[in-house]
């Protein structure tokens, strides 16, 4: 389930990424929010890599296969 955040703490996060993916035949969704990134880092590139790691870890923890 996705939600549109218009106010509150998470709505003010400048770096955020959401991904909907299939794992074990079911739709899943992960949201990642960062308040800031270190100077000199590419925040978007880092969030994309974090999302890939999160999806892989999810599939290992819940024993499901990621759909490609």
pLDDT of residue 56: 94
Length of the chain equals 68
pLDDT of residue 2: 43
Question: Can you list the residues of the chain whose pLDDT is less than 50?
Answer: 1-5
pLDDT of residue 37: 86
Are 30 and 51 in contact by the 8 Å Cβ rule? The answer is yes
Contacts 24+ apart (CB under 8 A), 28-35: 28/58, 29/1, 29/2, 30/54, 30/55, 30/58
């Amino acid at each position: 389930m996705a939600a549109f955040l218009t106010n509150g703490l998470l709505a003010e996060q400048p770096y955020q990424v959401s991904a909907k993916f299939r794992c074990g035949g079911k739709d899943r969704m992960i949201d990642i929010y960062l308040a800031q990134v270190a100077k000199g880092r590419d925040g978007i590139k880092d969030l994309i890599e974090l999302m890939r790691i999160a999806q892989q870890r999810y599939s290992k923890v819940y024993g499901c296969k990621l759909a490609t």
